[in-house]
Structure 1
Amino acid sequence: MMPQLVEESWRNVVRGEEYESVDAYDKARRELQAAERSRAFDAEAIATSSDIERQATELVRKIKLYDQNNTYGSHFDAQGHSTGKRCTGQHFLGSVDLINGSLLMKVAREMPKGAHLHVHFNSCLPADFLIQQARDIDAMYIRSTLPLTTQANMECSRISFMVLTPHEATHIQDRQGGEKYVPLGNVFHEDYVSNTWMPYKQFQNEFKLVEEKNQALSKTERAESWLTTKLQISEEEAHNTCQTSRGIWEKFNHRTQMMKGLFAYESAFRNYTRACIEDFVKDNIQYAEIRPNFMTTNHLKTDDGFGSIDNEGIMRIINEEMKITIEKLKQRNEYFGGLKVIYCTPRSFSREKISVALDECIDLKLKYPDLLCGFDLAGPEEMGNELRHFVPEFLEFRRKCKDKNLDIPFLFHCGETLDVGGKIDGNLFDAILLDAKRIGHGYALASHPLLMEIFKEKNIAIESCPISNEVLGLTPVIAGHNLPILLANNVPCTVNSDNATFYKSSLSHDFYQVMIGSESMSLLGWKQLAKWSIEHSCITKEERENITAKWTQRWDFFCQWIVDEYGQMLND
């Protein structure tokens, strides 16, 4: 709320009176700017900032300038010719190596980030983690859409993995429900039949690049290096002149399909869960809410391929590994406030399948009341069902939750579109009417003044994913992102990584992008975003108090670290 004095000054300024002097005009201008600042999303953080926070904020401003001049450089020379150097804020995928060496990125990594609220569980860790996990799995198979016999085929092929029994690897169901024998293939042969399985160990042993670049690596290491690049989206893929929104989503879906089989067996899933929590701690995240994709085809296999683990088993594994990992962290005197699961399922499902999913969500909440925390539909909005398609099922779900005294908030993906005014954009209206606690992305919200007011009034938070939005075509560069508009309208927002595996990123990278994307963003803006993330988490009052206390302690230490680390260097 604006202080009364500032409110009166603003009212006086805009009355259109004649100014007797330049000094009077300048005074009115300062009063108008002060009124604007008093309404800023970070106004409270600025007004209540400590001396050490103000020092750290000024140092971060200088660090941004230092990186612009030293990490990057001038885009043009004195004659106006391109220097070939990248500038701050160009495509993230092409700049990530420079970003990783910048001072601001070092600061971003040290920042205590509060809660991470929008991250798909199959794409949290670096791409090579799951590939390396598969190295010694005898039951792992690989296939390709094209024979890997030319450079062009290696670039265009779509790769997938799966843990299978020998019988499953050589038999497929025909249209009559019977089985058809399909012999194993060899992706390195010209006569390879598209999408026939090849034992992954054989693939590693026979792997060769058409254009070999690093003879020092073993064949297994070369195979893993190539597969890692196949999982990561390149700058050319995302931003070439012929790319479309649908086209980049197709590229994205190729990665999720490739990742699926690497993730879908027990030992990898357990190792991944532990490593994911460790990675959150390394990235200075105090708490996280993850989104596994719950569907029958995502059930886990046992490592030998013969057993199956359903969604309840997946929850059990996450719960077990979380407790084990947090206990190990405590023994090392490290802190992590906990992990919760958002039940996520595809928006492309039929109403019948969504009804089944909603019922299973309730069952899992009853069995894991402290672990499951919300429900969501995922997938590209322009290629899936609108939220209103499932309104009868959602209303019935709400009634069932009330009858069982369960709190399972909706945390919908919506507004991840440029189709403002179209049917996809209508998901924002449904999210409000369905009483969503948060929404994922919410990019289109900035085009709806009334809805922004309602989001503020109902305290619905945005799970903003800046890097993902850039890669998937919602904005060409970070400076064009809508987050500053939402913040200028005081809509509560959080920063998230979405699918970091495919972007070579982390939550630290998203906070970095937020800082360079707007001149008005400061260290105290980061602080407000982190505070909002904890406030809008699906946690109990006791959990919130504990996590907030730990975050506050770390924030104070972080600000002191900035002053100690950079104060002298940037004041010289």
Structure 2
Amino acid sequence: MEDYLKKRQDLIQQDRALRPDQTYVDALSLEERKADNVLRNIRTYEAQAVWNGDKPAKHEPGPSHMFPGMAFLTARETIVNTELFKILGKMPKGGLLHAHLDATVRVDILLRFAIQQPAIHVRVSEPLAPNTLRSVLPQFRPLRKSEWTNIPSLTDPQYSSGSWVPIQNARNNFSIEMGGPEGFDRWVIDALMINPSEAYGTHNTTTKIWQKFSSTFMVSNPLIRFAPIWTQYIREFLLSSISDGISYVEPRIMFFMKNMFGEDGEENIPHRVWFQMYERVLNEVKEELKAQGREDDFLGSRIIYSTMRSISCEELEWHLSDCLALKQEFPHLVAGFDLVGHEDSLRPLIDYIEPLLKFVERQKELGVHIPFIFHAGETTGDGTAADVNLYDAILLGTKRIGHGFSLYKHPKLMEICREKDICIEMCPISNEILRLTGSMPMHPLPAVINHGVHVALCSDDPSVFGNMGLSFDFFQVFVASEVNNLGTLRMLVWDSIKFSSLEDQEKQRAYSALDRSWTKFIKYILDKYGGSFGDKRPVSQ
């Protein structure tokens, strides 16, 4: 028996030998090992006390019973009340390396910003009624002052479809039958988010849910691309990230539209001014934190220039030239280049090979470096164009891979990512809501880590999904695996800095700040929970 148990343990260790978190596990201090024991015990306790499979879920549609790592939109209300989530909320997160800026601020806050702007008007393409609120989307736009209207209501019987209504009029005079001002808010918020009935009921395929997902950006984009809101939006994104323990952000910003709306309602603000505004707000936030003695809380931000993977090669050449010009003017802000959008339905990377290869050569001529940081493999397909994007992303020298959901199907590509240190930006909650997987226990993240590939945990589009910050994604990943431990958490945090676009000196500063924050985090766990959950055996209910 003893011989068998030794062989068993040896086989387990051999199987897990490639995991990048093993280095962190082996290096855990005595205090960290105690804290790890606490976290494991709480996970075990809450698996029974909170996620007991015999308990029915509170919301339908979705899973009919509760379990750790279950469908996020159904589980969110329960998650926020767990002790484990409260602990992870205190954890320093390091960097956020995959988030689309135009989906990073809570939608109720974006709506509040919009209501404060008299230039913002709203219209609908067909009459609103209680039975059409779900299907008729609000269309927002800032208008020139000469175009402002005094139309009193969107829901008045006299309203003519397509007419612009001042946003405050539309809200204040929203039909009582449809909920009045609060009904207006719910209507807009529903248009900006995915709810459980959509994700798990009416839109429960990748194609259908992407239709809903894409529609949220149609609603939000004209608001965010209004200069007065843009600066407020950036500030809120930075501050909300910091409040969740994120110390560095590398958002993808969509430069598909060539101009932003100015305060005068004219669509005439070019990309370089977007950068200037972003940098101004970034510096203001850093100065405010410095004045508060909180410099460790936030190290900064860089931008991944993104455009749609639906454009022509000629249009891509314009964007690549634009990206080069911005890199020359803002070398400290441009982190990389990406093509975004629904991989299953839009153009694959192979369609753009010529302009992308020319872009690499042009960088050499100009003496600049803009790494590709491509979305690739965000698909359930096997051998489809979206799946094969992984090959092209790697051949083009991508620094990281966005999502890489189908990577686990490709042993050679996994080996290359491991050997070349290509980090995978994994967005587990996004993947689940966009129907690539049904729950966290089914997600390929463990397979990727088990093959020795580094992962940065990311939120993708948190305002649409409701997974603001990174605490929710860390929670879902941690509860869905008995192998994951404090060393795994530490690996994910430190890798988010290691594989960021920060310079080496900046990374060292980030590591030092993380060390200090991590020490405080471990002390918090032991002080608050060590007495109740510090025993070797899991606490029973």
What is the TM-score with the length of structure 2 in the denominator?
0.93
Paired with 1:488 and 1:220, the residues of 2 have a C-alpha distance of 51
| CA deviation string 1:145-181 (max 9, x = no partner) | 43222x22012212221111266679xxxxxxxxxxx
- Between the aligned partners of 2:267 and 2:494, the Cα distance in structure 1 is 44
Q: Secondary structure at the match of 2:99?
A: strand
Which protein has greater RCO, CA pairs closer than 8 Å, 6+ apart?
2
Paired residues in the alignment total 526
| Cross-structure match for 2:60 | none
For 2:141 and 2:167, locate their aligned partners in 1 and report how far apart those are by CA, in whole Å: 9
Give the Å deviation of 1:73.
3.7
- In the TM superposition, residue 142 of structure 1 has moved relative to its aligned partner by 1.0
Shift of 1:36: 2.6
SS in 2 for 1:156: coil
- Three-state SS of the structure 1 residue aligned to 2:131 is helix
Q: Note the C-alpha offset of 1:229.
A: 3.0
Q: In the TM superposition, what whole-angstrom CA distance separates every residue of 1:165-221 from its partner, at most 9, and x where no partner exists?
A: 266679xxxxxxxxxxxx979531457555442221220121135354xxxxxx545
Give the conservation status (yes or no) of the 8 Å contact 1:255–1:502.
Answer: yes
Q: Match for residue 486 of structure 1?
A: 448
Deviations 1:374-415 (A, max 9, x none): 000011011211111111101111111111111100001110
Counterpart among 132, 136, 154 of residue 187 in structure 1: 154
Q: Write the distance in 1 (CA, Å) between the matches of 2:203 and 2:339.
A: 29
Report deviation, 1:306.
3.6
CA–CA distance in 2 between the matches of 1:76 and 1:203?
43
Residues 70 and 439 of structure 2 are in contact (CA less than 8 Å); yes or no, is this contact kept in structure 1? yes
User: Residue 304 of structure 1: which of 264, 272, 287 is its match?
Assistant: 264
Counterpart Cα distance in 2 of 1:111 and 1:248: 32
Q: Which amino acid aligns with 1:379?
A: G
Q: 1:494 to 1:195 in 2, by over 3 A?
A: farther
Equivalent of 1:521 in 481, 484, 487: 484
Distance in structure 1 (CA, Å) of the matches to 2:218 and 2:323: 24
Partner of 2:172: 205
Aligned partners of 1:199 and 1:471: how far apart in 2? 34
Matches of 1:139 and 1:241 in 2, distance apart?
35
Q: CA deviation at 1:237?
A: 0.3
How far off its partner does 1:366 sit? 0.5
Paired residues of 1:185 and 1:198 also in contact (CA < 8 A): yes
User: Does residue 1:154 correspond to 2:133, yes or no?
Assistant: yes
1:530 aligns with 2:466: no
Indicate yes or no: 2:527 matched with 1:564.
Answer: yes
Contact preservation (8 Å) 1:462, 1:492: yes
> Corresponding residue for 2:192?
231
Preserved CA contact (<8 Å) 1:142 1:162: yes
Per-residue CA deviations over 1:37-74 (Å, capped at 9, x if unaligned) read 43333111111110011111111111112322333444
Q: Secondary structure at the match of 2:9?
A: helix
Contact 2:151 2:169 in 1 (8 A): no
Most deviating of 516-525 and 475-484 = 516-525
- Distance in structure 2 (CA, Å) of the matches to 1:76 and 1:505: 24
2:119–2:148 Cα contact (<8 Å) kept:
no
User: In the alignment, which of 286, 303, 308 is matched to residue 326 of structure 1?
Assistant: 286
The amino acid across from 1:549 in the alignment is S
- 1:91-102 equivalent positions in 2, closer than 5 A: 91-102=71-82
Query: What is the distance in 1 between the residues matched to 2:152 and 2:127?
Result: 10
Unaligned runs of 5+ in 2: 57-62, 536-541
Percent identity over the alignment is: 32
Instruction: Please show how residues 126-137 of structure 1 align to structure 2 within 5 Å.
Output: 126-137=106-117
In the alignment, the residues of structure 2 paired with residue 37 and residue 451 of structure 1 have an alpha-carbon distance, to the nearest angstrom, of: 19
**Paired amino acid for 2:338:** D
Counterpart for residue 446 of structure 1: 408
1:10 matched residue in structure 2: none
Counterpart residue number, 2:92 = 112
Which is greater in Rg? 1
The residue type paired with residue 108 of structure 1 is: L
Instruction: Identify if the C-alpha distance between structure 1 residues 107 and 318 changes in structure 2 by more than 3 Å, giving closer, same or farther.
Output: same
**Where does the alignment leave 5 or more consecutive residues of structure 1 unmatched?**
1-21, 78-82, 171-182, 213-218
Q: Would you say the 8 A contact 2:210–2:342 is kept in 1?
A: yes
Q: Contact 1:438–1:461 (CA<8 Å) still a contact in 2?
A: yes
More deviation, 187-196/431-440: 187-196
Secondary structure of the residue that 1:566 maps to in structure 2? Answer: helix
1:166-185 aligned at under 5 Å gives the runs none
Change (3 A) 1:38 1:245: closer
What is the rounded CA distance, in whole Å, between the counterparts of 1:316 and 1:418 in structure 2?
A: 39
**2:86 counterpart of 1:86:** no
* Displacement of 1:296: 2.6
Residue 240 of structure 2 corresponds to residue 258 of structure 1? no
Secondary structure of the residue aligned to 1:348 is coil
Shift of 1:364: 0.2
- Number of the residue aligned with 1:400: 362
Residues 135 and 436 of structure 1: is their aligned pair in 2 closer, same or farther, counting only changes over 3 Å?
same
CA distance in 1, matches of 2:77, 2:426: 23
1:36 to 15, 38, 44: 15
Secondary structure class of the residue paired with 1:530: helix
Give the letter for the 1:132 counterpart.
R
